Amino acid sequence: MTGMKHLLAVVMAMMAMTAVAQDIKVGVCDWMILKRQKLGEFRLAREIGADGVEMDMGGLGKRAMFDNKMRDNEAAVRDFKFQMDSTKVEIGAIAMSGFYGQNFGEKETYRELIDDCLNTMDKMGGVRVAFLPLGGSGNDWHSDKAKRKEIVKRLREVGDMAAKRGKKIGIDTPLDAEGNLKLLKEIGSKGIGIFYKWQTAVENKVDIAKDIKKLGVKNIVAFHASNTDSLCLRDDKAIDVPSIASVLKELGWSGWLFVERSRDTRYVKDVKMNYANNVDYLKGIFNAQIEADVQLKSDGRDRDYVETIMKRSLKVTDALKISYTRTGRNVQNIVANKYFMLNDIYAERDSVKKTDKKLAEATADSKLYRSHFDMESQLSNYLSPSQIEKVKDVMTYNVVWVTYEAQCDMIPTLKEEEKRQILAWLKEAREFAIDAENSNKKHAAFGKYKGRINNYLSGRGYNLTKEREAWAERVKARGGTL
């Protein structure tokens, strides 16, 4: 009987754990990735690594209705749903971003606009959350009694419209938890909640983790999980994402985190780089990493060593500007696996060397030869030939182009066929350098070919000593040094 009681307790505990298990998904705002109501938003979101998008209702301006392509266009609805299914990217919420610029408390067609949004939510597969910003209502709507009364009345009305259809409208306010709780009580509609925006909290000097706890997760319908544009989230000290994640885990909150901004202003127009970086960071913090097609062969390896190799491989995807994207994740794993394989080959060689040096070298050479093209073959599934060239260059410190450009600068009279030969030999040297066991051996591989190039140029009648002296003078005149 005691055993049965213990088993029952375990089962109940597991059921309780399941009941509070988090299902947190990360999405991007389609208007911010420059794909507002465009079919391409789904493929782009997938490449970024997002689980879904927050689809906007379209521009509003001073028009009576949103510029909503889904309103009377069944073909557009079918196309969108097909893309959702084929990319496995969801619509997690629908936004009425037009109210960033229009006053919800004064817009005459507010009922029709909300109804249009609710209808679109149904058409797009039963989306349950809508975003309604109150930014266009001014900075004093919450403190001006008359304005507040009108907005509360309208929110109660549209909230009830949403509740009747099993949906929630999330509002963004400048209030802290205490202020939001008071506002929600005034509204008194089950169809209204808070669409919690981290940027707004930061601007109002609110401690997000503490504020969320005070507000209570039952009042939060979704998050805009980003700050204003300045840095990507992983580098932004203004938002303590791990603390936020800890509180949400403690409270058992499930739902959507949507990245709206947090773009690195140095590369503000690079959509993939910024949003993939933020999505990857959020997924890492919330333990929902992007699944890669290419599995990382890191099992049984020292954790610090793996981390070092992953950082080294990240330099490759950084150079290609695809870091943290789905493609980037696969490329990073392919390159890391190449480093792992080289490490294994040379470790085996060193072990066998203790008893048979010749066999050790022969076995290593054989394995290097047989495996040499594996990386390039795998990369071809994700990258163009020119991108694969870039991968090789990053892995070999860009020696090919540094050396080639130096040769052309040193001897301005080089003929085209001579330039082609020099470049061909340098790229051949790069193939050996890629498989070399350390940086010294990589440079040594190029060193052999540099000697071959010097002999070739001397044989073509070039006086390399004089060419180098004249080159040094030209560089000095330009204010540089060799």
In this prediction, residue 288 has a pLDDT band, given cuts at 50, 70 and 90, of low
Give counts: helices (H), strands (E), the chain: 19, 8
* Tokens representing residue 440 in the block: 């010294």
How is the chain split into domains, by residue range? 22-285, 303-387, 396-477
Q: Which pLDDT belongs to residue 394?
A: 98
pLDDT tens for 414-466 read 999 999 999 999 999 999 999 999 999 999 999 999 999 999 999 999 999 99
Residue range 219-225: mean pLDDT, rounded = 98
pLDDT tens for 11-24 read 443 343 333 446 89
Q: Which pLDDT belongs to residue 22?
A: 60
Residues 6+ away with beta carbon under 8 Å from 169: 114, 130, 131, 132, 155, 158, 159, 162, 191, 192, 193, 221
Question: At residue 376, does pLDDT exceed 70?
Answer: yes
Question: At residue 219, does pLDDT exceed 80?
Answer: yes
Question: At residue 106, does pLDDT exceed 60?
Answer: yes
Question: At residue 165, does pLDDT exceed 50?
Answer: yes
pTM of the model: 0.80
Q: Which pLDDT belongs to residue 117?
A: 98
Q: Which pLDDT belongs to residue 10?
A: 36
Pairing, β 192-197 against β 24-29: unpaired
Range with the poorest average pLDDT among 60-64, 187-191, 413-417, 455-459: 60-64
Question: At residue 9, does pLDDT exceed 70?
Answer: no
Helix (H) or strand (E) holding 312: helix 303-320
Q: Which pLDDT belongs to residue 18?
A: 37
State the fold for domain 22-285.
TIM Barrel (3.20.20)
In this prediction, residue 1 has a pLDDT band, given cuts at 50, 70 and 90, of very low
Question: At residue 384, does pLDDT exceed 90?
Answer: yes
* DSSP per-residue codes, 246-282: HHHHHHT--EEEEE----BGGGTT-HHHHHHHHHHHH
Q: Which pLDDT belongs to residue 6?
A: 41
Cα–Cα distance, 64 to 50 (Å, whole number): 33
Q: Which of 137, 148, 144, 70 is nearest to 99 (CA)?
A: 137
Cα–Cα distance, 64 to 99 (Å, whole number): 12
* Tokens representing residue 63 in the block: 């028009």
Cα–Cα distance, 482 to 470 (Å, whole number): 12
Question: At residue 327, does pLDDT exceed 80?
Answer: yes
Q: Which pLDDT belongs to residue 23?
A: 87
